[in-house]
Structure 1
Amino acid sequence: MCWVSRRGPIQKAVRLAQRQAARQNLAVTTFSGCLLVTCVALSAGAVEQWGLFEVSFTGPDSGSPYLEVRFSATFSQSNRRIIVPGFWDGGGTYKIRFSPPTQGQWRYETTSNVPELNGKGGVFTVTAPTGENHGPVEVFNTFYLRYADGTPYHQFGTTCYAWIHQTGELQQQTLKTLAASPFNKIRFCVFPKSYAYNQNEPERFAFQRRADGTFDFNRPDPAFWRHLEQRILDLQRLGIQADLILWHPYDRWGFANMSDEEDDRYLRYCIARLSAFRNL
């Protein structure tokens, strides 16, 4: 318990304390005319080391969130600080994702140019990895690869550039084929490809389509991104690294013609949404 006050009008003190407590993740209650502020940070449960911690917030659902809202969180453990960008996930939903590199208790606090998303925070516990969770692949001794826990990684990859842009049945067939194969890495694309053996029109695209058939590069389609993330997790369960191509020239939809500014925003969005997946 931080403090007890009997001074001044209690309702005014309650309102003042609630505003301050909201910035510091404290609980405010009254008891027998006294104001109690309890030092209990919001808890978000537990996540494995190198797992995916995700927290959602409610913010603006009008205007152009992709362009206008700046949103990030600082994750801290002892003297370590890691700043992670957040992202808009459609409607009034905003998310932060973080893959904790160490076990123990972590804290986070958000920063935003939007009051509803600014100064939010909490604590969570990171537990030991389980099963086949060896962490992300990293460079070892310049010429080698290994997982973060030291387990050797011997890359044996394949390409399937447009598999997430095929029918659901074909995507499931691809996953079954990969499960029975020796491959531990697959290279594929965010944007669909147009070439001799791939002329189909995908069901989903990274950006929303206008009525005239063109794409609005200032408005991502959250449904596409959630689908992509599900496929990355499907590969993770198979022990397969996702080698993702962010741009390519084999295009008939206009994605290869985005401006430098649009490319930059798209890249930042990819980083915010996807960098916490340990197999990416």
Structure 2
Amino acid sequence: MKTPRIVRNKIALAGLIVILLYVLMSIVSLFWLPFNPVAMNSAEVLQGPSLASGHLFGTDEFGRDVLSRIMKGTSVSFIISVSATALGAVIGIFMGVWAGYLGGKTDNAIMRFADILFAFPSLLLAIFIMAILGEHTYNVVLAIGIVYIPQFARISRGSIIALKGNEFIRAAKSNGAGRTYILRHHLLPNITAPLIVQISLSLSTAILLESALSFLGLGVQPPDPSWGNMLSSARKVMMFAPWTAIYPGLAIVLLVLGFNLLGDGLRDILDPRLRNVR
């Protein structure tokens, strides 16, 4: 039996393992946590990491277990990043596919809208949207999703333009195939490779954006745990209780690294020109 290419690609496999470990931790957190992640305990304020006390990652300035809050924050980060990426991908791909296929005024109108969104740095655009919509988890998903729309629109548009002049498309048209049929059966299946890679990379930046918004007080609101608001609250005590910032920071770094490794590996796997480079 032939070994799957993702297993043979060490970069993609390493990223996938990291992501699966986080998924497992997220699932476990739904049913079990070492301590209540929001319960304060004045008797255990700023305890260092200790196996004896059961607080493996220590406690924060309110006596809350850091490990439990990181585990709970994993679910929050996954839900927000996956939902936001899915929203941006669906809308962006729809816009890009029709812009590339129809061309003309439709293409010009859609891509000028994408250019307007591209004119703003991602974080500033997300902050602007949150300032309008207000502080709520659903609004975080919407803000990050809007940030991703032009990225997916450009990638899908470029791929469609590169394909729509090929012989098999002209043959389908000569056989009486309609626009929707050609898009569904001929064009979309042939542009999935770059979109899959972009989705993987977008998930990593979605985690960073969510963490940044929560850090600034615009994302998940305390006492609900989020890696971003954990880092924000740790600013006050990190000089003499560094574990309150180190462990949430490492959680972000490792998950972002996992998605980036997976995206890089998938690019090598799905692009025939790169399969034999490494």
TM-score between the two structures when normalised by the length of structure 2: 0.27
Higher strand share: 1
**Structure of higher RCO (CA pairs closer than 8 Å, 6+ residues apart):** 2
Per the normalisation by structure 1, the TM-score is: 0.27
